[in-house]
Structures are given as C-alpha cells and as structure tokens.
C-alpha cells in the first residue's frame, strides 16, 4: 500500500512530505521510501505561525488552519508528481499538521473539570479535497482522550524501521524538541521505552534569534556553536528546568521551552559576559547531556536524526556524551533522516485505516491502545475505507 505523510515540527520551518510503500511482515512492517520533498515556509508565513503560538486570536487560528491545509496539499501534490504517481496510486494521506499548542498535563476548566489538550492546525478537508485522497489527521487527540500525553507517537514507527535482532539501539530525534526511543536487542513493541527529552532546535534557534534581535534565525550548520566553549554555569542553568526531573511518560513543546525560557538563558549568559558562540555551545552541551542522563542506555548504538544532525556543535556534544564511534546518522543506518517523521505519519495513517492501534500506552501514559486519528474521505471513488 502506498501512503503519503505530511509533517511540520515544533520549529515551524516548513513541510516535509514522504511517500512510502508499506507491506506487512512477520513481526515488523516493511517500509520503503519512494519520494521525499521539503518545502520551507515563506518567512512571512512562518512569522504568522510563530506569533499564533504566542498571541494568536481565534480568527487567526481559523484562517491559518485552512492556510496550512492549502500549503500541505500543495506539497503533497508536488511530491506525487515528483514520484510520477497519481492520486489513484496513493491509498491514504497522514497529516500531522502544525502544532500550535500542546498541553499534555491536566489544566482546570471552570465548569468542565480538567482537561489535556493539543492543537494541530492544517485542515484535513482541504487536503482531501485538493488531492482527492482519503486523509487521516488529528493523531494526538485520541491518545489524549484515553489519558495519554498524545506524544511521542513516532516510537511505534521507530520500532518498525530500526528494530534489530542483534543490537540495542537508541534512536535520538534532534528536532525542535529532542526525543529518544530505546529499542532493546530483539525486543518487542512492549519493550520500547520512549519520551521527549527536552528542547533542541527550539532552544538553539531561539538563542540566535533573540541574541541577534531577529537578524538571524539559525546557526547554519552549527558554525557558531562549533567555535564556542561550553560553560558549566550556563549548562547547569539550562538543566534546572523542572521538566528534566519529571519521570516519563512526558512530552513537551514551545509552551515550556519558548521565548521566556530562552530569555532566562540569555540573561545568565549576559551576566557572565559569555559570547554568543559560548552560549550556543553550552546549549548544545545541555541538549546532549539531557539525552544521556535521561535514562541508562546500556551498550546502545546511538542513531541520530532530525534537523540537529546538521549542527556540528550539537553532534560534537553528543559524541562527547556517548562512547566514541557509537553515534551514527540515520542515513548511515539506511533511513533518510529528513524524511523520517513524514514517513512516520504515513505509517500511522496506514495503521488507522487498517484499524490497528498505534499508540504505545506505556510510552504516552494512555489507559489503553487506541486507533489514532480522524478520517476525512477523499472526493473520488478509489478511496480506501478500511
């Protein structure tokens, strides 16, 4: 079955699209990447999304929900053309959407008790209408309704892609948020351990954006971080946040590690007169330390992916924390790093239309396994309906 996945992460920098072929195996799905495309958001559009997560109005949420759907649909159609596929060839689209708020711990609502919530925009009706393909979206809501955090969801896919009979593996995604998935040698799905570790590119991008007053938004290839020297006082300040002491299940996002957190980091750096290079190097060191200290990872082969693998300073910090030669790129393990998260939501959509629960309750904290996502039919008669 050919499935298409769409994903935009916490960094809000653009859309990843992947088309995969999925075949059932004895203990794992067989997943082959057929095509991948990345489309950065136009700067003015990204600015609107970033503002939405901080101060958005209901009207802005409404408009951008549809606008993100239009962007996602456009990327999906472009990727299908690139792969020389038509809508008839693709059974289902899985769209993660764009997270604008993630609140996995209970918050009281007067008159309604307390609730967990997470909001991803990107109207699936628009995607289904523009592509003609059945679309699964809103993956996090059902796990939240079942008492879970709604995240992380990709460990289910990490198991099917990276499980090894002979080697224990630690899959580290260095995205806006860093998360880790532990796959013990020859383990089953029930043996998977996974959780969000803490901020990653969200922190690094925030530091350089605030430090340069918006003149720069990224440390390209980690050039500045690679020139800096980690400062213990700043690393320790970064690690003081209560999230790092919290026991799994746990997930996080911009709500905990957004502008206010970055501002406090920069205030400490300014008080000690640390350079921007040292501040970024310290941030990289803290990120790497949170991965290593978050759990004991005995004899793990570390496989790193996500946008952070392009950051030289972050990779050096990760290599310092683990044994030399034990850190590999996903590409070295035969998986295109930049495509993996979009691939993941294609796989999750595949499981949804098969009626297969794809949350891992021992990872998210849900009371039970659930089938994820809501289904929007396509507008053509070749839709897969289950």
- 185 within domain boundaries: yes
**pLDDT exceeds cutoff 70 at 324:** no
Per-residue pLDDT tens over the stretch 259-317: 999 999 999 999 999 999 999 999 999 999 999 998 888 878 999 999 999 999 999 99
**pLDDT exceeds cutoff 50 at 386:** no
- 358 within domain boundaries: yes
Per-residue pLDDT tens over the stretch 31-60: 999 999 999 999 999 999 999 988 889 999
**pLDDT exceeds cutoff 70 at 340:** yes
Q: Which two tokens stand for residue 119?
A: 């909001």
Overall domain count for the chain = 2
Per-residue pLDDT tens over the stretch 258-270: 999 999 999 999 9
Do 59 and 112 belong to one domain?
A: yes
- 334 within domain boundaries: no
Range of the domain at 185: 155-325
Do 276 and 315 belong to one domain?
A: yes
Per-residue pLDDT tens over the stretch 7-35: 999 999 999 999 999 998 888 999 999 99
- 381 within domain boundaries: no
Do 291 and 170 belong to one domain?
A: yes
Do 10 and 140 belong to one domain?
A: yes
What is the predicted pLDDT for the residue at 184? 95
Q: Which two tokens stand for residue 243?
A: 């999230």
Give percent above pLDDT 90 in the chain: 92
- 231 within domain boundaries: yes
Do 180 and 305 belong to one domain?
A: yes
> Which H, E and C letters describe the chain, residue by residue?
CEEEEEEECCCCCEEEEEEEEEECCCCCCEEEEEEEEEEECCHHHHHHHHHHHHHCCHHHHHHHHHHHHHHHHHHHHHHHHHCCCCHHHCCEEEEEEEEEEEEEEEEEECCCEEEEEEEEECCHHHHHHHHCCCEEECHHHHHHHCCCCCCCCCHHHHHHHHCCCCCCEEEEEECCEEEEEEECCCCCHHHCEEEEEEECHHHHHHHHHHHCCCCCCCCHHHHHHHHCCCCHHHHHHHCCCHHHHCCCCCCCCHHHHCHHHHHHHHHHHHHCCCCHHHHHHHHHHHHHHHHHHCCCCCCCEEEEECHHHHCHHHHHHHHHHCCCCCEEEHHHHCCCHHHHHHHHHHHHHHHHHHCCCCCCHHHHCCCCCCCCCEEECCCCCCCCCC
Confidence of residue 381 (pLDDT cuts 50, 70, 90): low
What is the predicted pLDDT for the residue at 295? 87
Q: 312 pairs with which residues across the strands?
A: none
What is the predicted pLDDT for the residue at 383? 56
Do 162 and 220 belong to one domain?
A: yes
Do 76 and 223 belong to one domain?
A: no
- The CATH number of whichever domain residue 13 belongs to comes to 3.30.420.40
Residue 77 neighbours by CB distance under 10 Å: 18
What is the predicted pLDDT for the residue at 323? 74
Do 130 and 169 belong to one domain?
A: no
Do 248 and 344 belong to one domain?
A: no
- 219 within domain boundaries: yes
Per-residue pLDDT tens over the stretch 70-81: 999 999 999 999
Do 291 and 357 belong to one domain?
A: no
């Amino acid at each position: 079955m050919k499935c298409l996945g769409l994903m935009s992460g916490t960094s809000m920098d653009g859309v990843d699209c992947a088309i995969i072929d999925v075949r059932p195996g004895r203990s794992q799905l067989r997943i082959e990447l057929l095509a991948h495309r990345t489309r950065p958001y136009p700067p003015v559009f990204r600015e609107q999304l970033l503002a939405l997560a901080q101060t958005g109005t209901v009207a802005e949420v409404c408009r951008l929900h549809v606008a993100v759907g239009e962007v996602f649909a456009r990327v999906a159609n472009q990727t299908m053309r690139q792969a020389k596929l038509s809508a008839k060839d693709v059974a289902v689209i899985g769209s993660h959407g764009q997270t604008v708020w993630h609140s996995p711990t209970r918050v009281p609502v007067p008159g309604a008790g307390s609730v967990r919530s997470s909001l991803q925009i990107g109207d699936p009706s628009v995607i289904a209408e523009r592509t003609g393909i059945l679309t699964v979206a809103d993956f996090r809501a059902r796990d939240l309704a079942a008492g879970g955090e709604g995240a992380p969801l990709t460990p289910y896919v990490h198991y099917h892609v990276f499980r090894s009979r002979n080697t224990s593996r630690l899959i580290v995604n260095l995205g806006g948020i860093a998360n880790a998935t532990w796959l013990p040698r020859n383990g089953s799905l029930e043996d998977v351990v996974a959780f969000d570790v803490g901020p990653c590119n969200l922190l690094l991008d925030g530091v350089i954006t605030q430090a340069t007053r918006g003149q720069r938004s990224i440390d390209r290839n980690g050039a500045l971080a690679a020139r800096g020297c980690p400062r213990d006082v700043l690393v320790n300040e970064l690690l003081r946040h209560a999230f790092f002491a919290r026991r799994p299940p746990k997930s996080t996002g911009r709500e905990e590690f957004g502008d206010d957190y970055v501002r406090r980091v920069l205030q400490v750096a300014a008080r000690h007169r640390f350079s921007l290079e040292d501040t970024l190097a310290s941030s990289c060191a803290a990120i790497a330390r949170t991965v290593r200290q978050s759990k004991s990872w005995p004899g793990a082969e570390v496989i790193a992916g996500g946008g952070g693998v392009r950051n030289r300073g972050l990779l050096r910090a990760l290599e310092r924390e683990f044994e030399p030669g034990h850190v590999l790129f996903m590409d070295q393990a035969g998986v295109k790093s930049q495509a993996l998260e979009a691939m993941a939501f294609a796989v999750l959509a595949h499981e949804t239309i098969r009626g297969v629960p794809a949350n891992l309750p021992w990872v998210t904290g849900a009371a039970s396994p659930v089938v994820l996502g809501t289904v929007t039919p396509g507008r053509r008669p070749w839709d897969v309906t289950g």
